[in-house]
Amino acid sequence: MRPLPLLPLQLVLGGFLARILKRNPGLLDRLGDHRRARFGIRPVDLPFAFIVEAAPPRLSAVRELPPGLDAYVSASLANLLALVEGRVDGDALMFSRALTIEGDIEAVLALRNAIDDAQLDLAAELALLLGPLGEPARRSFELVRDSLAGSPQKAR
Amino acid sequence: MELICPAGTPAALRSAIDAGADAVYCGFNDETNARNFPGLNFSRDELRKGIAFAHSRGARILVAINTFPRASSVALWQRAVDDAVDAGADALIVADIGLMDYVARRHPGQRLHVSVQAAAADPDAIAFYVETFGARRVVLPRVLSVSEIAQITREVSCETEVFVFGGLCVMAEGRCSLSSYATGKSPNMQGVCSPASHVAYEETAQGTTSRLGGFTINRFAPQEAAGYPTLCKGRFSTEHGDGYIFEDPVSLDATTLLAGLRTAGVAALKIEGRQRGRAYIESVVRHFRRALDTMEDGSEADVGSLKPFTEGQASTVGAYRKTWR
Ligand code: SF4
């Protein structure tokens, strides 16, 4: 199987991130001194990972996370999406070993608390981003998200 | 009995109230409260709005100002008191006697609760807070059995509040120096036990190693349930082998003891966890709201459903059912 081209994914998700940060200024406030941290996010069930920065908003899709980032977060895609939407509790995922973090733990906590307060609805954000294509995109996203795992809490 | 629920963010505050909290406790985003974590807590403006939201829904907001002021910057704690009163807080939760004195003198009408951090565990200590500062409620430390709670509640002239769920401090609250020893920072002074800035995790083939301030405190095998990186729940190697000395990674769950606590005369039940996410707040608050309702109609409470939220995926009734002394 040919690996997925990452550039288009990076462009779409980068735009998505910038939009989310613009619509939720409180996120940056809660990130505080950690707003410039570089986070490596690795969905353990996907063949690629992301490097995410909040200020300025930047997202790169990579096959392997490089060393030297401020913090590394890995979990299944279902759990990562659920965390971003506040549908699971980060500490509970840590306790059940469904989430691992390394590097600057303070930066990860700030990010998690900022995201949890923002009450993000990724499907709705996607719909807004894509304008006329928004509604079908929202429905497709919800379908994919819900098919990933019935119970993200237990997904590893 | 009132259900008192935690909130570390405005979104969590709204979740707690939606899920059935009678009151929510929260703190400012600085070292004046015992959950001074990155990205957590309330600005002055957020607190004001949170209080307005709570009042519009018939709920109350209790503001925790429960660390011990540093001699050089008492004004920071006094300002927190003034701002919380100004924002319309329904009660202040305070641990330090100097700060209680400030509240009593400067804001004599303000309802005052004695924080668990004051470790007031006997009727004489509690009477001191009631008589000297007009405290209306004491949050009892988690070292007492239900019968001791009943006895204290009978003897004191203020209300008692007890923890029913969440992380457990196994040392006398407000006195523990384990975090200070390892990191130079403590829940009592800086408002954070085992600060994230001093925590490191390392993933290896053997599992996850957790370190605090350079001390290796635990290693969890790949599928083994884990707990917080606090020294009290560290695994130690001694001549008797490796194991937990102070406490296993485990959370308090007193769901099965609610009726006993009601008989003991307890006024309020508290859920720990201002550092937890909305998903925790919502599930745990809803669980206890339902448990209190089912207690009223005599049916069985749902026990064990909160396991995914517990440290080490295990729960205990702690000292409430104490078989040791
Ligand atoms: S080390 Fe343990 S007992 Fe001490 S303050 Fe921290 S959590 Fe509580």
Mean pLDDT of A120-140: 85
**B109, two tokens:** 């009408």
Whether ligand 1 lies within 6 angstroms of the CB of B182 is answered as no
Task: Give the integer Cα–Cα distance in Å for B255 and B320.
Answer: 11
Q: Give the pLDDT of residue A2.
A: 59
Q: Where are the domains of chain B?
A: 2-168+250-321, 178-244
Residue B277 and residue A112: Cβ atoms within 8 Å?
A: yes
Residue of B nearest to A84 (CA): B277
Q: Work out whether the CA dihedral B302, B305, B310, B314 comes out positive or negative.
A: positive
∠ CA B278-B281-B284, rounded to 5°: 140
Between strands B268-271 and A49-53, the pairing is unpaired
Between strands A58-62 and A71-75, the pairing is unpaired
Is residue B101 less than 8 Å (CB to CB) from chain A?
no
Distance B138 CA to ligand 1 centre (A): 20
DSSP of B165-190, one letter per residue? EE----SPTTT--HHHHHHS--TTTT
pLDDT in tens, A90-115: 999 999 999 999 999 999 999 999 99
User: From the alpha carbon of B194, which atom of ligand 1 is closest?
Assistant: 6
CA of A156 to nearest chain B CA: how many angstroms apart?
Answer: 10
DSSP of B235-302, one letter per residue? EEEETTEEEESS--S-EEE-GGGHHHHHHTT--EEEE--TTS-HHHHHHHHHHHHHHHHHHHTTPPP-
Superfamily of domain A7-121: SCP2 sterol-binding domain (3.30.1050.10)
Element (H, E) at A122: helix A122-129
Q: HSE (CB half, 13 Å, CA atoms) of B287?
A: 24
User: From the alpha carbon of B186, which atom of ligand 1 is closest?
Assistant: 5
Task: Give the integer Cα–Cα distance in Å for B182 and B200.
Answer: 13
Per-residue pLDDT of chain B (325 residues; tens, 9 = 90+): 999 999 999 999 999 999 999 999 999 999 999 999 999 999 999 999 999 999 999 999 999 999 999 988 999 999 999 999 999 999 999 999 999 999 999 999 999 999 999 999 999 999 999 999 999 999 999 989 999 999 999 999 999 999 999 998 888 788 889 999 999 998 888 989 999 999 999 998 889 999 999 999 999 998 899 999 999 999 998 898 889 988 899 999 999 999 999 999 999 999 999 999 999 999 999 999 999 998 877 777 777 789 999 999 999 998 898 766 5
Q: Give the pLDDT of residue B216.
A: 93
Mean pLDDT of A38-47: 96
Is residue B223 less than 8 Å (CB to CB) from chain A?
yes
What was the ipTM of the complex prediction? 0.93
Task: Give the integer Cα–Cα distance in Å for A100 and A38.
Answer: 16
Residue A97 and residue B276: Cβ atoms within 8 Å?
A: no
For chains A and B, CB pairs below 8 A equal: 104
Q: Give the pLDDT of residue A149.
A: 60
Q: Taking CB atoms and an 8 Å cutoff, what residues of chain B touch A100?
A: 201, 203, 208
Which residues 6+ apart lie within 8 Å of A82 measured at CB?
A88, A152, A153
pLDDT in tens, A69-87: 999 999 999 999 999 999 9
**B8, two tokens:** 């570390």
Element (H, E) at B201: strand B199-204
**A113, two tokens:** 């608390």
Residue B278 and residue A86: Cβ atoms within 8 Å?
A: yes
Interface test with B, best of A84, A100, A105, A121 (most B CBs within 10 A): A105
Q: Are B300 and B35 in contact (CB under 8 A)?
A: no
Task: Give the integer Cα–Cα distance in Å for B168 and A102.
Answer: 25
Distance A85 CA to ligand 1 centre (A): 30
In this structure, which residue's CA is closest to atom 4 in ligand 1? B176
Q: Give the pLDDT of residue B17.
A: 98
Whether ligand 1 lies within 6 angstroms of the CB of B67 is answered as no
User: From the alpha carbon of B193, which atom of ligand 1 is closest?
Assistant: 6
Superfamily of domain B2-168+250-321: Aldolase class I (3.20.20.70)
Whether ligand 1 lies within 6 angstroms of the CB of B171 is answered as yes
Nearest CA among A96, A98, A66, A104 for reference residue A80 = A98
Coil/strand/helix, residue B56: helix
Q: Give the pLDDT of residue B170.
A: 80
pTM of the shown model? 0.94
Q: Taking CB atoms and an 8 Å cutoff, what residues of chain B touch A96?
A: 225, 308, 313
Q: Give the pLDDT of residue A5.
A: 77
Q: A154 pLDDT exceeds 50?
A: no
Nearest to A116 among B195, B225, B277 (CB): B277
Q: Give the pLDDT of residue A132.
A: 81
